[in-house]
Amino acid sequence: MNPLSATRTILRVEVLALRHRVLKRGPVRLVLLAIFLAAAGIFILGGAFTVGATAGHFLPGAIDPVLVGGFTGLSVLMLVVGFPTVIATFFVGRDLLQLALAPVRTIEIFIARLTLAMGANLLISSILLAVVLGMGAGAGAPPAYFVVAVPLIFLQVLAITSTQTVLMSIVLRWVPARMARDVAAAVAGLTGAGLYLAWNLSLRQSFSGRSRPNVDNLTLLIQRIDWLPPAWPGHALSEIIAGHGVAATTWIGLTLLMNVALVAAASVLYKHTLLAGLGVFGSAQAIWKRNDRRASAPAVGAASGSGSPALAIARKDWLAFRRDIRRLSRLLPAVLFPIGYVFAVTRPSRSMGGFWSEVLLVAFMSMFMSTTLATPSIPSERRGFQLLRMAPLPMWQVLRAKVLLTLPPVLAMTMAFGVVVAIASSNGADRLLELSTLVIWLGCGFVAIGVSAGGIDPRFDALDDRRAVGLVGTLAGLGGSLGFGLLSVGAFALFIFGGDALAGTAQLGPVPSTPAIGALMWAAGIVLAAASLAVVVVLLWLANSRLRSFETAIANT
């Protein structure tokens, strides 16, 4: 019998399942999807290739930092966003239970699951591949560069996936079972986000050389990342371009050795933790039990009055969110990312230009947080959505409850972010007030759009939040958010400049700063604000009507 026959069988089944999932869509949807993917591929990969080629041709001195940054960036991205995939692939699923019961060696399960876990990361790494190939083409690299580039990127993905498996196995092996899920979530969130911060600060320090307030001591310690293993493949490729064969071979050898060590460690640890992992992650925390029965009682003020469906949904979501390891492990990096971004990117500025960069930063953060928290809020009901549908509850109440639940954390995070940025920039109380107003407006709009996107095209049968919204919903959410964001920021700008014009202090270039111009700008601002509001209303209306009539996902559950 072939020693890896079980691995082949497992992978073949996964390929078959993928094929069925793809073919389940109608031919029209498939063609549209193919066109969209082709266009996005050409746009994204073509753009990445062009960036690489330009850097390779015009910035020969930056080849090594760019390659190192690219490989390290890919590693960090995989570490941050890939942990839930690794947990799900290696430790979750009824099919995994079936494999654990079957007379199949753990090493075969490990190889099959490693291959599956690498799939998404390999897709992400295609962007790096385009940059690397572009850089080689731009710098006139020898053929060996192109031959080695693809395997090196593959090895990078393999190394990171194995590292994640090792980390999860260590948690499972040495952390008590009752704490394993929480520790795993913390490790998943903090590892990638921490490395991201270090990487971001280091890169900026390397390229700009400018001192940075408050974080100088920190960056001095970690400002060079050349020695980190994720940088080794980048060095290997830059040495090939420079024609240093021995150095390139050394870096490639080190990369290979690191991979062998990591894969071996991961397979050994996985063998000893598969069953423990299935116990901890495989079902909803079988060991969890409340000690205090009173804690199970409804929230404060529950002793009298009628039950409120909206509050019940909010309370249920809050409890479920805290206890769902996969969702929680995705939230932590999402929260840490923008915070790190603030510290890494913002700089004190008293200029108007600085204020507007803060406006854009706040808008980006609001959109990012809303997409992360609000978009999956309806699909994450999964089969439980049937309860809402059976209850005497109009769907707009469900939408309202989801918006009201998601709004506080998004507003709190974005507001804290805006206040920190405004104080650091010393822009004054009036600017802080304006920024706060914008934060509230954007937060309400982006959250409503995010919830609507999930309601327009929910996938209640999806086990992963990242696949819980279909293509139509994703496009509606992105398009709606961009439209709303642009219109809102435009309206905000018109109100600010219009106010200055009314006071006669605006600097509008050739346009005179008069009260009439100010009033005109305010009127235009009102129109833009109304248009942005219309975007939100239309999406909510679409979601409401879709939720009332949508049946495919319900039939699937």
Partner 1 sequence: MTSTAQGPIAAVEARQLVKRYGVVRAVDGVSFEVARGEIFGFLGANGAGKTTTLRMLCGLLAPTSGTAFIDGIDIVEQPLLAKARLGYLDEDPFVHPHLTGREFLHFVADLYRMPRGAERQRRMERLLGLFELADRDGELIGAYSHGMKQKIGLASLLIREPPVLLLDEPTNGLDPRSARLVKDLLEELSSRGTTVLLSTHILEVAQALCRRVAIIDRGRITATGTMRELRAQAGNEQASLEDLFLKLTAGPESKELIERLLA
Residues that bind partner 1 (CB under 8 A): 283-291, 293, 296-298, 302-309, 311-313, 315-316, 319-320, 323-324, 383-384, 386-394, 549, 551, 554-555
Nearest distance from residue 332's CB to partner 1, in Å? 17
Nearest distance from residue 376's CB to partner 1, in Å? 14
Nearest distance from residue 484's CB to partner 1, in Å? 31
341 membership: H or E segment, kind and range: helix 325-345
Nearest distance from residue 310's CB to partner 1, in Å? 9
Report the length, in residues, of the chain: 557
Nearest distance from residue 551's CB to partner 1, in Å? 6
Taking the C-alpha atoms of 115, 334, 44 and 201 in order, what is their torsion angle to the nearest 10 degrees? -100
SS3 458: strand
Nearest distance from residue 94's CB to partner 1, in Å? 13
Nearest distance from residue 448's CB to partner 1, in Å? 22
Question: Which residues make beta-bridge pairs with 469?
Answer: 458
Question: Which stretches of 375-513 are DSSP H helices?
Answer: 385-390, 395-425, 429-456, 471-502
Distance of alpha carbon 529 from alpha carbon 523, whole angstroms: 10
Distance of alpha carbon 515 from alpha carbon 521, whole angstroms: 10
* Cβ closest to partner 1, residue 41 vs residue 394: 394
* Cβ closest to partner 1, residue 183 vs residue 393: 393
- Cβ atoms of 223 and 362 closer than 8 Å: no
* Cβ closest to partner 1, residue 26 vs residue 209: 26
Nearest distance from residue 553's CB to partner 1, in Å? 12
Check residue 304 and report its DSSP letter.
S
Q: C-alpha 302: how far from its chain's center? A: 37
SS3 469: strand
How many alpha carbons lie under 13 Å from residue 206 in its C-beta half-sphere? 18
Q: Is 176 left (phi over 0), alpha (psi -120 to 50) or beta?
A: beta
* Cβ closest to partner 1, residue 210 vs residue 294: 294
* Cβ closest to partner 1, residue 314 vs residue 533: 314
SS3 537: helix
Nearest distance from residue 315's CB to partner 1, in Å? 7
- Cβ atoms of 335 and 413 closer than 8 Å: yes
* Cβ closest to partner 1, residue 210 vs residue 290: 290
- The Cβ of residue 295 has, within 10 Å, a number of other Cβ atoms equal to 7
* Cβ closest to partner 1, residue 59 vs residue 276: 276
* Cβ closest to partner 1, residue 312 vs residue 486: 312
Nearest distance from residue 46's CB to partner 1, in Å? 39
End-to-end CA distance of the chain: 39
Distance of alpha carbon 231 from alpha carbon 65, whole angstroms: 9
User: Angle at Cα 189 formed by Cα 158 and Cα 344, nearest 5°?
Assistant: 100
* Cβ closest to partner 1, residue 246 vs residue 390: 390
Nearest distance from residue 392's CB to partner 1, in Å? 4
Give buried/exposed letters for 251-288 (b at 16+ CB in 10 A, else e): bbeebeebbeebbebbbebbeebbebbbbbbbeebeee
Distance of alpha carbon 189 from alpha carbon 500, whole angstroms: 44
Nearest distance from residue 429's CB to partner 1, in Å? 43
* Cβ closest to partner 1, residue 144 vs residue 310: 310
Structure tokens at 443: 């937060």
The three-state (H, E, C) secondary structure of 347-368, written as one string: CCCCCHHHHHHHHHHHHHHHHH
- The Cβ of residue 90 has, within 10 Å, a number of other Cβ atoms equal to 28
* Cβ closest to partner 1, residue 221 vs residue 286: 286
